[in-house]
Amino acid sequence: MAVPGKVAAFRLPPLPKVGEIIKLFRLKAQKQLSQNFLLDLRLTDKLVRQAGELKNAYVCEVGPGPGGITRSILSAGVEQLLLIEKDIRFIPGLKMLSEAAPGKVRIVHGDILTYNMEKAFPNHLKKNWEDEPPDIHIIGNLPFSVSTPLIIRWLENVSKKDGPFIYGRTQMTLTFQKEVAERLTANPGGKQRSRLSIMSQHLCSVENCFIIPGQAFVPQPEVDVAVVHFTPLVQPKIQQPFKLVEKVVRSVFQFRRKYCFRGIETLFPESGRLKRTEQLMMTANVDPTLRPSQLSMSQFRNLCNTYRKMCDEDPGLFVYNYREELRLKKRAHLLISNSQPEETE
Ligand code: SAM
């Protein structure tokens, strides 16, 4: 669990308010880019406190926009702040903040989806994976269309210990649509238990910190927002490659209202499907009549370990794709029906 840190370890010189910066640089939020700004500094302080102690830390803020969260991070007394912002309109306002905290801020006009985080921080900050997390934090309030694919990518980086995790167990404090945060943190049996719950919780300790009501943003989004904190685990709960875990978990949740064997079946080609599904479920000790949301983490671990053994014995199995088989079957069926001679009288 993140230990909430202090804000206001460093006093910024007097600056125009964030709202005034928006007016000064004409930074109207672009709805089509899902830009919603957080201007209330009490809330940005609260968000930043969820990251833990930031005094002398190295922080990367993704999508700083007009800089509300940025101010709170600087006030926490960080050593270095790297800002990655895609929309060029925000760069002049961010430069103004950078001048108020000389030598602390680096601004990158770029896309976090393509930015190479492996060289973002000094080498001396690297920690062994088993040690305490490094003094490096990622913080951000990104559009939801970016934050969900990004967390999947960063979870894969956690499992490979690369990207931002080349420095060790780098912690992340990020915002998500409230329902996505509920999925990220859902327990077995919970309504929101899903692929995201397993993928995030097998690699990280995940904490749903607090909800920011939609009204707190300008303009107001249609949904509420949750702040989620991630700390990579020393030992993943499922010790198999990310892609294998993803395939098993995706298959299980494919038919989320049905018994779990229905999704698990789709891991196997049609010929021998029933026998191999039974073999997998029996060896993994999973009751086939459980619903996907009822499966525990250790049951997912058993399924992944057993499926891995089956893949090792049959090297063609892992590349088998249920949807592709369905598509080919449909096409063959269509070709046959089109080649039937038309009936004549
Ligand atoms: N963090 C600011 C706040 O809380 O007021 C702005 C939040 S706004 C929802 C999202 C910000 O992320 C915008 O400034 C947008 O330009 C930026 N952004 C969107 N996609 C991005 C990407 N792929 N890489 C970096 N920045 C991005």
Q: What is the mean pLDDT of residues 212-239?
A: 95
Condensed to tens digits (0 to 9), the pLDDT of residues 18-45 reads 888 787 777 777 766 678 999 999 999 9
Higher-confidence residue of 315 and 282: namely 282
Whether 293 has a pLDDT exceeding 90, the answer reads: yes
Distance 63 CA to ligand 1 centre (A): 3
Q: Give the per-residue pLDDT at 31.
A: 66
**Ligand 1, atom 21: nearest CA belongs to which residue?**
86
Q: Which residue has the tokens 């499922």?
A: 238
Whether 230 has a pLDDT exceeding 90, the answer reads: yes
Distance 142 CA to ligand 1 centre (A): 5
Mutate to test the pocket of ligand 1, among 30, 35, 220, 227 (most ligand atoms within 8 A of CB): 35
Tokens at 160, concatenated = 């490979």
Which sign, positive or negative, has the C-alpha torsion 293, 294, 298, 303? negative
Q: Would you say 168 and 127 are in contact if contact means Cβ atoms under 8 Å apart?
A: yes
Q: Give the per-residue pLDDT at 16.
A: 79
pLDDT band at 345 (very low <50, low <70, confident <90, very high): very low
Distance 192 CA to ligand 1 centre (A): 26
Q: Which atom of ligand 1 is nearest to the CA of 18?
A: 5
Residue 12 beta carbon below 6 angstroms from any ligand 1 atom? no
Q: Give the per-residue pLDDT at 32.
A: 61
Residue 112 beta carbon below 6 angstroms from any ligand 1 atom? yes
pLDDT band at 174 (very low <50, low <70, confident <90, very high): very high
Q: Give the per-residue pLDDT at 3.
A: 58
Q: Which atom of ligand 1 is nearest to the CA of 44?
A: 4
Q: Give the per-residue pLDDT at 34.
A: 72
Query: Amino acid letter at 259?
Result: Y
Distance 141 CA to ligand 1 centre (A): 7
Whether 1 has a pLDDT exceeding 60, the answer reads: no
Instruction: Quote the CA–CA distance of 187 and 225 in Å, as a whole number.
Output: 20
In 3D, which of 288, 246, 58 has the Cα closest to residue 156? 246
Q: Give the per-residue pLDDT at 17.
A: 83
- What are residue 232's DSSP bridge partners? 204
Residue 221 beta carbon below 6 angstroms from any ligand 1 atom? no
Whether 340 has a pLDDT exceeding 90, the answer reads: no
Q: What is the mean pLDDT of residues 205-213?
A: 98
Whether 237 has a pLDDT exceeding 50, the answer reads: yes
Q: Give the per-residue pLDDT at 250.
A: 97
* Contact residues for 25 (Cβ-Cβ < 8 A; gap 6+): 89, 90, 92, 93
* pTM of the complete model: 0.92
Instruction: Kindly report the three-state secondary structure assignment for every residue of the chain.
Output: CCCCCCCCCCCCCCCCCHHHHHHHCCCCCCHHHCCCEECCHHHHHHHHHCCCCCCCCEEEEECCCCCHHHHHHHHCCCCEEEEEECCHHHHHHHHHHHHHCCCCEEEEECCCCCCCHHHCCCHHHCCCCCCCCCCEEEEECCCHHHHHHHHHHHHHHHHHCCHHHHHCCCEEEEEEEHHHHHHHHCCCCCCCCCHHHHHHHCCEEEEEEEEECHHHEECCCCCCEEEEEEEECCCCCCCCCHHHHHHHHHHHHHHCCCCHHHHHHHHCCCCCHHHHHHHHHHHHCCCCCCCHHHCCHHHHHHHHHHHHHHHHHCCCCCCCCHHHHHHHHHHHHHHHHHHCCCCCC
Residue 232 beta carbon below 6 angstroms from any ligand 1 atom? no
Residue 7 beta carbon below 6 angstroms from any ligand 1 atom? no
Condensed to tens digits (0 to 9), the pLDDT of residues 64-98 reads 999 999 999 999 999 999 999 999 999 999 999 99
**Ligand 1, atom 11: nearest CA belongs to which residue?**
63
Which sign, positive or negative, has the C-alpha torsion 123, 75, 106, 50? positive
Residue 307 beta carbon below 6 angstroms from any ligand 1 atom? no
Residue 31 beta carbon below 6 angstroms from any ligand 1 atom? no
ipTM: 0.99
Condensed to tens digits (0 to 9), the pLDDT of residues 306-335 reads 999 999 999 899 999 999 888 888 888 877
Residue 38 beta carbon below 6 angstroms from any ligand 1 atom? yes
Mutate to test the pocket of ligand 1, among 42, 87, 151 (most ligand atoms within 8 A of CB): 87
Instruction: Quote the CA–CA distance of 263 and 258 in Å, as a whole number.
Output: 8
Q: Which atom of ligand 1 is nearest to the CA of 142?
A: 10
Q: Which atom of ligand 1 is nearest to the CA of 140?
A: 1
**Ligand 1, atom 1: nearest CA belongs to which residue?**
64
Among the residue ranges 6-10, 160-164, 196-200, 214-218, the one predicted with the least confidence is: 6-10
Strands 217-218 and 37-38: antiparallel
Rounded to the nearest 5°, which phi and psi values hold at 137?
-135, 145
**Ligand 1, atom 23: nearest CA belongs to which residue?**
111
Condensed to tens digits (0 to 9), the pLDDT of residues 110-162 reads 999 999 999 999 999 999 999 999 999 999 999 999 999 999 999 999 999 99
Which sign, positive or negative, has the C-alpha torsion 46, 51, 52, 57? negative
Query: Amino acid letter at 309?
Result: K
Among the residue ranges 10-14, 239-243, 291-295, 304-308, the one predicted with the least confidence is: 10-14
